[in-house]
Amino acid sequence: MVADPVVHVLRAENIVRSFVNGAGVEVRALDGFSFSAEGPQTVAIVGPSGCGKSTFLRLVAGLDEPQAGTVVYDGTATATPSPDRGLVFQDAALFPWLTVYDNIAFGLRARGAFNRERGLVDEYIALMGLAGFERSYPHQLSGGMASRTGLARMFIGNPGLILLDEPLSALDAFTRMGIQDEIVRMQQRERSLIVLVTHDIEEAVYLADRVVIMSARPGHVIGEVGIDLSRPRDRIAEAFVAKRREVMAVLGSTGALGRHDEPILSGQG
């Protein structure tokens, strides 16, 4: 595949987004959050529960609007969803009435491109290791296969920006490692910009070129660790473990790790 000539740029400045919780109290999910990323690379955002990571992804995806600040992708504000900004939810959110094939073809059909590009469906089914499962319904799939289907459904639109909202957190460790390698491979193939939100520090260090660390609510950036390790990465190499330790240190320095007993904002990762 030819490298994408366009360098994608995502810039978010001083975002404020608050919600009213069940008790009628206003809770700030994001407060003065700024973030930028560009080019084909993977940026991971880690932080404690309720720090507004998922809220940020929803803003970038165009599913939500900030109360203050701007989110700009390739020069335009992300006010509405676009197939150029792909999003994968935690448990894939597959359409239960569609087969694996039809789930993956959903975007093509919705954009009226199915007749022109139907060959892509089989291509991505093969790429994500889903061959033989085309006619299965989501309830017949294991967690790993459902996750692959969700990723294929997003990758097939060839988005320049890929937003992953804890896509693998419901999987067991072995399945997760397999799909992490799949994501690395797809990123190198499609040359897209990936923003990954995760709880899992090892996952962040394994996948990302940069790890951005957020504070507990109200969320803002408290640090960043560059991961300049070559791929494929060795999860138990000295350098890999050192990077994990570095991320942990930034998280721990603000007391972010010791506050899990706090009630989290419902619906916000």
Partner 1 sequence: MEEKLTDGEPRGAATAVRSSRRAPGPRLPQVREVLLMLLPPVAMVAALSLHEALPNIYPDDYVPVTYAPFLVICLAAYGACFVVACFVPRFRKRFGHYSGLLTVAFLVLEVLDIATLKTGYLRLPFMPSPDKVFYSVTSNVPELLNDFYSSMLLLFTGIVIGAVTGMVSGVLIGWSRICNYWFAPFMKIIGPVPSAAWLPVVMVVFPTSHAASVFLIALAVWFPLTLMVSSSIRSTDKRLIESARVLGASEPYVMFHVAIPAALPSVFTGMFMGLSSSFGALIVAEMLGVKAGLGWYITWASSWAEFAKVYSTVAIFIVIFFTLIELLFKVRDHVMKWQEGTVRW
Interface pick for partner 1 out of 6, 63, 77, 173 (rule CB under 8 A): 63
Q: What is the smallest separation between the CB atom of 269 and partner 1, expressed in angstroms?
A: 12
> Which residues from 124-143 bind partner 1, rule CB under 8 A?
129, 133, 136-143
Q: What φ, ψ does residue 232 adopt, rounded to 5°?
A: -70, 145
**Would you mind telling me the total number of residues written for the chain in this entry?**
269
Q: Is 245 in the site for partner 1 (CB under 8 A)?
A: no
CA angle (129, 241, 200) in 5-degree steps = 55
Q: Is 60 in the site for partner 1 (CB under 8 A)?
A: no
Q: Which residues contact 207 (CB under 8 A, 6 or more apart)?
A: 42, 44, 180, 183, 184, 194, 196
Interface pick for partner 1 out of 33, 35, 106, 124 (rule CB under 8 A): 106
| Contact in structure between 61 and 80 (CB atoms under 8 Å) | no
Interface pick for partner 1 out of 46, 154, 247, 265 (rule CB under 8 A): 154
CA 144 to CA 147: how far, in whole Å?
Answer: 5
Q: What is the smallest separation between the CB atom of 201 and partner 1, expressed in angstroms?
A: 23
Q: What is the smallest separation between the CB atom of 258 and partner 1, expressed in angstroms?
A: 31
> Which residues from 69-88 bind partner 1, rule CB under 8 A?
81-83, 85-87
Q: By C-beta, is 145 or 227 nearer to partner 1?
A: 145
CA angle (152, 213, 250) in 5-degree steps = 140
- CA-nearest of 126, 242, 129 to 178 is 129
Q: What is the smallest separation between the CB atom of 20 and partner 1, expressed in angstroms?
A: 17
Q: What is the smallest separation between the CB atom of 139 and partner 1, expressed in angstroms?
A: 4
What torsion, rounded to 10 degrees, do the Cα atoms 107, 88, 82, 30 define? 160
Q: Which one of 7-15, 153-161, 223-231, 255-263 is the stretch in contact with partner 1 (CB under 8 A)?
A: 153-161
Q: Which amino acid is at 181?
A: D
> Which residues from 160-189 bind partner 1, rule CB under 8 A?
172, 174-175, 178
**DSSP code of residue 3:** P
Q: What is the smallest separation between the CB atom of 124 and partner 1, expressed in angstroms?
A: 13
Q: How far is CA 182 from CA 7, 50, 120, 152, 155, in A?
A: 22, 28, 18, 10, 11
By CB under 8 A, how many residues form the interface with partner 1?
40
Interface positions with partner 1 (CB under 8 A): 61-63, 81-83, 85-87, 89, 93, 95-99, 106-107, 109-111, 129, 133, 136-145, 153-154, 157, 172, 174-175, 178
